[in-house]
Structure 1
């Protein structure tokens, strides 16, 4: 092996542009093979073990013809930064984009969770006609399409499309149009209850049309 052996605390970049830090060189208790113990500097900072020879080997350029890096892992140095800023490890553009996407997904999940925990407020549509309620709530056109559909199977398909934006008011209106009552509760539990009603109706229609 012509390359210098990895030393604890050194930084290495994998040919797929991920950064890792060397923890130690260990010895396999059974085979006595030298193993590199290293930690990811991204995501959950997981710790990995790989045979030293494999760690220091060259990239299989037949399998990965577009990779320009010669070795599977290559040593890198921390970027030079101004004294008033913390040291930032070199990070590729793809990793930064992944972090941005992860933050966006986290924000969406937080907002959806807040929506799920909002107290249920009955829309009081039992006192109004379906058409009046639809106009007042400025409903999604799919809700109107749901009410106009003749077959339960078609209604089921429309309901699936509404799931990402479903609200209690929508469920109340669609349930009333079916002549069923969906009990109060979490909006997605009520969505599943309405879907169960439609599945039952769909089975009934299939039996009747045979």
Structure 2
């Protein structure tokens, strides 16, 4: 396993609890869009505490970018990352991940599970090949949505947001369940890409397979 110590070039919050990190890119360091790496912090006592984070930048960029949800309710890696900024060092480990673009289809994400799809969408949009793909994005509230402006710009009407706890007048709670999938998707013969918390991925995958999606056309993290 090859480790790379890199400096943080820039860091900033993009939502109330998600922080974007732009870091140095090691020479000849490459990945497939949708993949991730394990990251640790180059500080005493934190070097061996590895957490997986997805690359959100395009491969031709001279930096690497991560969008990381900061959990402040316990003294873990992300809470520590919430307090470090430009100039601090991270340790990158091996690249891994099964999520990658195969054919146009429906992308279903929950929360920070959108991150593997961001680089894929950015690449397809740059190539003018994004048409024919659709995103269904689940969050608790509108404040939790990542990169909403960019996603709307890229996907236009092929972008559906689902909120489970939006506290506004007239809002009806929705969840992506079997009925939602039946009501909102007409073709289960296309590719499906699912990412989010493990329970979310398991439930959505189960529903999709029951509705006729095959294991060959269902792309999830293994």
Task: Give TM-score, length-normalised by structure 2.
Answer: 0.19
Work out which of the two has the higher radius of gyration on C-alpha atoms and give 1 or 2: 1
Flag the structure with higher strand content.
2
Flag the structure with higher helix content.
1
Higher relative contact order (CA closer than 8 Å, sequence separation 6+)? 2
